[in-house]
Amino acid sequence: MTKTHYTKPSEVERQWFLVDAENKVLGRLASEIAKILRGKHKPTYSPSVDTGDHVVVINAEKIALTGNKENTKVYRHYSGYPGGLKETTVARLREKHPDRILAGAVWGMMPKNRLGRAQFKKLKVYAGPDNGRHAAQNPQPLEF
């Protein structure tokens, strides 16, 4: 009789990956990054254990959006007060905080519990090119 193996947190081996987001489509890149953060690319995946790897994303300011989403896609957040609905387009968000576009897309694909929050902390998004950050971790380049 075979037994199912459940991965324990002490058995997890983490890797670091480097992703260049230049000219990559936002949603497709975000789903692949979420898969790596959750650990679904490993044969030892367990939904209740954080088996994912670390991901460093560079050139987030050069990410591509299909169609006319640059001007028509609107992000909204509400403060809870009357008249507190704030709206911003992708073009404006790209000017001020280009890293938040990709981080928000990945966050939407993660589970909304404490495990998902812990997995999301392993994502590092930078707007510009690589300048030696995380060189000590020796991240492996990852292509999609």
Give which of 11, 73, 77, 18 is closest to 42, Cα–Cα.
11
Tell me the whole-structure pTM to 2 decimals: 0.93
pLDDT tens digits for range 120-134? 999 999 999 988 889
CATH code of the domain covering residue 108? 3.90.1180.10
**Would you say residue 9 lies in a domain?**
no
For residue 45, being part of any structural domain is answered with yes
pLDDT, the chain, mean: 95
Q: Residue 113: inside a domain, yes or no?
A: yes
User: 99-107 and 26-38 are packed helices; what angle lies between their axes, rounded to 10 degrees?
Assistant: 60
Domains identified in the chain, total number: 1
Q: Which residues span the domain enclosing 122?
A: 14-65+95-141
Question: Does residue 114 form part of some domain?
Answer: yes
Is the residue at 5 inside a domain?
A: no
pLDDT at 4 (0 to 100): 85
pLDDT range class, residue 69, cuts 50, 70, 90: very high
- Whether 90 is covered by a domain: the verdict is no
pLDDT in tens, 15-29: 999 999 999 999 999
